[in-house]
């Protein structure tokens, strides 16, 4: 049976596929990218897939070239700021690609859709004359399964790394943090002697809507706490919340109230946590508060 291959269909199908894969990558990492950058990256990927299909150049459809192209369009779409973040994006992109590709193969093979639409595999590139709406439906069907897998993986990583979910109440507003226990955090306020939880400013800046950085929030009650690094002494601006709770399943467990120091940089490049607990931070289990949607809403 002779199958006609249309260049425009080949290009559009690959363009949509590349865009969906990049979009799903950003969605799973909770780091949505610029719409224009994703379109440009998908456009480059579609050109590559079209050239590979028609040009008999072995290097173009070799495995190293394909891996480099996948990494390249990922870098174009998200512009990661470090090598670690770049590798994280690439790994998730290929995870989404393999999962979606397996689901698509399962669908086309067992439903016989590929034969009815017309499919050709050439030079490592697959052409299927499939309606666009079916591509979209297939991607949406895969999304819940991939999100569930990423959610379970994140929970396992958090448990292995000793990450604690805490809720901070300050002036009627709530701040939710994923805090890593650090036995080396001995930072204390010299006057009160209270320990200090170090948190990212980006997570807490909604508590201070008129401030652009921690130094600007000093007029709203933040106090400077001096700390020492390997190179010099620095200041960390901190506030004392009304209450701190540890989130345990459907309960909020009150704990000791300590200072929250705000740092204007990322603590973990993989975004597994956004705060660091002091070495002596312990929860108190005598009182438990039921976790309700109103209690845990972000104001």
pLDDT score at 48 = 86
Report d(CA 183, CA 291) in Å as an integer. 29
| 3 state DSSP class of 157 | helix
Would you state the pLDDT for residue 288? 43
The pLDDT of residue 196 is 93
- The rounded distance, in Å, linking the Cα atoms of 157 and 131 is 39
- Cβ atoms 278, 164 nearer than 8 A: no
Q: Where are any strands of DSSP class E within the chain? A: 119-122, 125-128, 163-170, 173-181, 196-200, 223-228, 233-239, 243-248, 251-255, 259-263, 275-277, 289-290
Question: Which residues in 7-32 are b (16+ Cβ under 10 Å) and which e?
Answer: eebbbebbbbbbbbbbbbbbbbbeee
Q: Block means of pLDDT (10 residues each) for the chain, length 299 residues?
A: 65 82 79 82 87 72 80 88 83 81 60 56 59 66 66 56 85 91 82 90 89 76 77 81 87 90 84 85 49 39
pLDDT of residue 7: 74
Quote the pLDDT of residue 252. 86
Question: Of 174, 177, 180, nearest to 165 (Cα)?
Answer: 177
Q: Under a CB-based contact definition with an 8 Å cutoff, are residues 73 and 22 in contact?
A: yes
Q: Which CATH architecture has domain 161-290?
A: Beta Barrel (2.40)
pTM of the model: 0.47
What is the model's pLDDT at position 243?
93
| pLDDT reported for residue 261 | 92
Q: How far is CA 164 from CA 25, 28, 58, 148, 288, in A?
A: 26, 21, 51, 21, 16
CA distance 61 to 63: 7
């Amino acid at each position: 049976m002779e199958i006609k291959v249309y260049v425009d269909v080949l290009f559009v199908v690959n363009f949509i596929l590349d865009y969906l894969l990049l979009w799903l990558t950003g969605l799973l990492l909770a780091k949505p990218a610029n719409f224009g950058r994703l379109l440009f990256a998908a456009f480059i990927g579609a050109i590559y897939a079209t050239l590979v299909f028609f040009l008999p150049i072995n290097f173009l459809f070799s495995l190293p070239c394909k891996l480099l192209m996948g990494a390249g369009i990922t870098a174009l779409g998200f512009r990661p700021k470090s090598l670690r973040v770049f590798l994280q994006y690439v790994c998730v992109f290929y995870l989404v690609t393999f999962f979606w590709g397996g689901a698509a193969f399962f669908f086309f093979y067992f439903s016989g859709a590929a034969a009815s639409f017309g499919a050709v595999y050439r030079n490592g590139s697959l052409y299927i004359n499939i309606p666009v709406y079916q591509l979209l439906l297939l991607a949406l069907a895969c999304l819940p399964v991939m999100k569930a897998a990423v959610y379970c993986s994140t929970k396992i990583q958090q448990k292995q790394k000793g990450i604690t979910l805490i809720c901070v109440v300050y002036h009627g507003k709530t701040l939710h943090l994923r805090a890593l226990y650090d036995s080396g955090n001995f930072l204390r306020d010299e006057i009160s002697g209270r320990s200090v939880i170090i948190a990212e400013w980006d997570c807490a800046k909604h508590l201070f809507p008129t401030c652009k950085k921690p130094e600007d929030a000093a007029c709203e009650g933040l106090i400077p706490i001096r700390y020492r690094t390997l190179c010099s002494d620095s200041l960390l601006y901190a506030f004392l919340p009304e209450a701190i709770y540890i989130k345990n399943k459907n309960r909020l467990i009150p704990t000791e109230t300590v200072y929250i120091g705000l740092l204007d940089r990322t603590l973990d490049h993989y975004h597994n946590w956004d705060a660091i607990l002091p070495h002596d931070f312990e929860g108190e289990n005598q009182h438990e508060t039921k976790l309700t949607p109103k209690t845990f809403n972000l104001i």
